[in-house]
Amino acid sequence: MNILLVDDTRTEQHIMTVRLSDMGHEVVCCSNGQEAIKLYTKYDFDLVLMDVIMPVMDGHEAARRIRSLGDDWVPIIFLSGRTSPEDIAAGIAAGGDDYLNKPVDEKVLAAKMTAMQRISAMRHRLIVVSQELEKANDELQKLANADGLTGLANRRIVDEYLEKETTRSIRSGLPIAVIMIDLDNFKAYNDTYGHVAGDSCLKKISKVLKNTISRPEDLPGRYGGEEFCAILPNTDLDGAKIVAERIRTNVEELKIPHSGNPDNNIVTLSIGVSSHIPRKQAPSNQILSEADKALYQAKMAGKNIVMSSGR
């Protein structure tokens, strides 16, 4: 273990350090409670062995301050010649966990260290388990936020992000843009090539979105079925149209065969774009509705085109 030994007597420091080192422990020494607190906050100790009566700051006060740091897992054992019931009770009340009577018997010290080592091993295992649980929770949260097929943000996250960024846009007075994307004649694609090929196609489209929408603050997502969406904060209509046209062109250049799309015989996209500075009284999904209307216009205009709505 890494042990902090606090004792104002050099002789006691030397004797205890030799004994503990012979048991395989690493020992750091200091002479009063104030020094102990500084060392405790600087290094990772498994155990504190602390004299009670010391200059500058006594052991009880040092223990109270160590416990106030919020770490109750590191045991504190007091070293003292005072072992009356009142002394022991005062030490436990101050934050101590045990007492060793001075002069410390070597066999008793060895037994105490064996017990403390079990506690230390348990503490470190709990830390590892806590870290593993935290990592697992992070992964679960990512899965809960992502579309299972494409890995893009799912509809719930897109809606939440739109609401959050709309609120930010109202405060900042900066525009926010939404791009709605739909694969042309995708039902015919599934009917012709099968759903496995359809899933593969959707993955390819999502990859284009990830590669094209590159700003950290922009969020591409799958909105449902063959429909995708992108939220672009601080983006005016012209900027959003450039991004949308780039997405459309990049998908067209994939030249994914699609015999059910008669005008092109490849997979194409219809895209609706909207951008504005939202008003406080307007619903957060108004811009989404505008982009959806623009998408409908793109479908009516012959597909494989970007149409826009905004101000």
Catalytic amino acids?
226
Q: Could you give the CA distance from residue 97 to residue 15 in angstroms, rounded to a whole number?
A: 22
Kindly state the tokens that stand for 13.
């420091």
Map residue 44 onto helix, strand or coil. coil
The alpha carbons of the chain give a radius of gyration, in whole angstroms, of 33
Q: Could you give the CA distance from residue 6 to residue 248 in angstroms, rounded to a whole number?
A: 70
Q: Taking the mean position of all CA atoms in its chain, how far away is CA 225?
A: 29
Q: Could you give the CA distance from residue 71 to residue 82 in angstroms, rounded to a whole number?
A: 26
Give the CA angle between residues 153, 241, 185 to the nearest 5°. 65
**What φ, ψ does residue 57 adopt, rounded to 5°?**
-150, 125
| Cβ–Cβ < 8 Å for 242, 215 | no
| Cβ–Cβ < 8 Å for 232, 178 | yes
306, 258, 303, 311: which is closest to 282 by C-alpha? 311
